[in-house]
Structure 1
């Protein structure tokens, strides 16, 4: 029983670098940062960071943003969603057209 306790990590030895949650949050924050850079919004999200909660679950903190930044982000999301839906419709149309010629 004493050996089991010695093998477990306690609060003094635990590190976020040993956590899958930390790496998932860091990777997600990096991906978001890169997208914000491409959109020219890198200065508008000064609080963007990866973090862990008390349970070791990773999360990405976006922080506070100005109303103008929130509107810009909303517009980017609307545009991305519309573009994605348009591409899906185009792909569905080309697939059904190809299938119609085979009969």
Structure 2
């Protein structure tokens, strides 16, 4: 019977490898790692890793960084945003709405 204890999924037998969220989180972490490598920031994010919380939700851990690293990352993001907006203006496309991330 599918309802008895041997067929139930419990925390003692759960593995992140059983979850699509794990692979999504790992792939996102890898993509971020590759971008940090390209920017020469690989040594500035020693705590970067993929994690799963107790509820099975994937999280990308960035960890603590120095103020200089935070400033450099902020400048890279500003440059990337400016380049993206320039490309949109050149193509005549409408820029996307800015979102605060707090929907």
Q: TM-score range by the shorter chain?
A: 0.7 to 0.9
TM-score scaled by length of structure 2: 0.84
- Tell me what 1:14 maps to: 14
Matched with 2:53 is 53
Q: How far is 1:3 from its partner?
A: 3.1
Superposed displacement of residue 10, structure 1: 1.4
Structure 2 spans left out of the alignment, 5+ residues: 94-103
- Cα root mean square deviation, aligned: 1.3
Query: What is the aligned partner in structure 1 of residue 70 from structure 2?
Result: 70
TM score, norm. by length of structure 1 = 0.84
What runs of 5+ residues in structure 1 fail to find an aligned partner? 94-103
Structure 1 position 20, deviation (Å): 1.4
| Aligned-partner Cα distance in 1 for 2:2–2:92 | 60
More helix by share: 1
Deviation at 1:54, TM superposition (A): 1.1
Task: Identify which of structures 1 and 2 has the higher relative contact order when contacts are C-alpha pairs closer than 8 Å and 6+ apart.
Answer: 1
Larger Rg: 1
Aligned residues: 92
Deviates more, 1:40-49 or 1:4-13: 4-13
SS at match of 1:9: coil
